[in-house]
């Protein structure tokens, strides 16, 4: 694997990460998922810096991108476990919204091929004999082709499929950058022109 091909591949992976992260950010904004919004925003910044480091041969930015990929993979695994109710986590918790709002995933009410039906709330049914209140109609999503939690997990899987190769290519690019810097310093010491002797009159 040549350095040029590895750089081109890493640039392509970073570009795909930016596209998928921005797409994910839009749906997180629609669902008021504040924790993913902040982490996705930081992810976009780090990927841009990593892309800059790859193009400009700045190893420190690529190393920062490399370390962030480890945290990013861990975050996507955590979100997947949350939506799949694994490890004591629950998709009905308010972790992703930071307890600020009651909003959930945008896909919960806008799933693929879902049929909606207006149903009365349980609270209204319990109080209808005591109060003369209008029925606060709720929208319940039924018979979805793909449940919203699996759509969110699919987003995480896509991020993992891009991030893991990005981590591998970033390791290789950083090693080639280090080798090039060492060889440059080695030959630079011998090719550095000597200062001309001064003549004193």
- pLDDT digit string (tens) for the chain, length 201 residues: 666 788 999 999 999 999 999 988 888 888 778 888 899 999 999 999 999 999 998 999 999 999 999 999 999 999 999 989 888 888 878 788 777 666 567 667 666 666 655 555 444 445 554 555 544 444 454 566 677 788 888 889 999 999 999 999 999 999 888 665 544 444 444 334 444 444 343
Q: How far apart are the first and last CA of the chain?
A: 59
Q: How far is CA 56 from the centre of its chain?
A: 23
Angle, CA 152 vertex, CA 106 and CA 120 arms, to 5°: 40
Q: Are the CB atoms for 166 and 13 separated by under 8 Å?
A: yes
Q: Could you state, in order of their start, the residue ranges of all structural domains in the chain? A: 1-86+149-188
CB atoms within 10 A of CB 176: 18
Please report, for the chain, how many H helices and E strands are present, in that order: 5, 2
Q: In what helix (H) or strand (E) does residue 46 lie, and over which residues does it extend?
A: helix 34-56
CA dihedral angle for residue 152, residue 153, residue 156, residue 157, rounded to 10 degrees: -140
Beta bridge pairs of residue 116 = 141
């Amino acid at each position: 694997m040549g350095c040029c091909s590895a750089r081109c591949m890493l640039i392509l992976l970073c570009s795909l990460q930016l596209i998928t992260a921005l797409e994910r950010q839009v749906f997180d904004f629609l669902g008021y998922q504040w924790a993913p919004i902040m982490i996705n925003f930081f992810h976009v910044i780090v990927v841009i810096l990593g892309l800059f480091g790859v193009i400009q041969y700045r190893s420190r930015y690529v190393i920062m991108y490399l370390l962030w990929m480890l945290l990013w993979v861990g975050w996507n695994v955590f979100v997947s476990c949350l939506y799949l109710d694994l490890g004591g986590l629950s998709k009905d918790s308010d972790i992703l919204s930071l307890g600020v709002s009651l909003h959930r995933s945008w896909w919960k009410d806008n799933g693929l091929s879902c049929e909606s039906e207006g149903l009365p709330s349980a609270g209204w049914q319990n109080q209808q004999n005591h109060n003369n209140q209008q029925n606060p109609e709720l929208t319940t999503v039924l018979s979805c082709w793909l449940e919203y939690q699996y759509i969110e997990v699919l987003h995480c899987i896509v991020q993992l499929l891009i991030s893991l190769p990005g981590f591998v290519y970033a390791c290789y690019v950083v090693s080639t950058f280090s080798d090039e810097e060492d060889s440059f310093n080695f030959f630079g010491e011998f090719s550095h022109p000597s200062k001309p002797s001064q003549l004193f009159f």
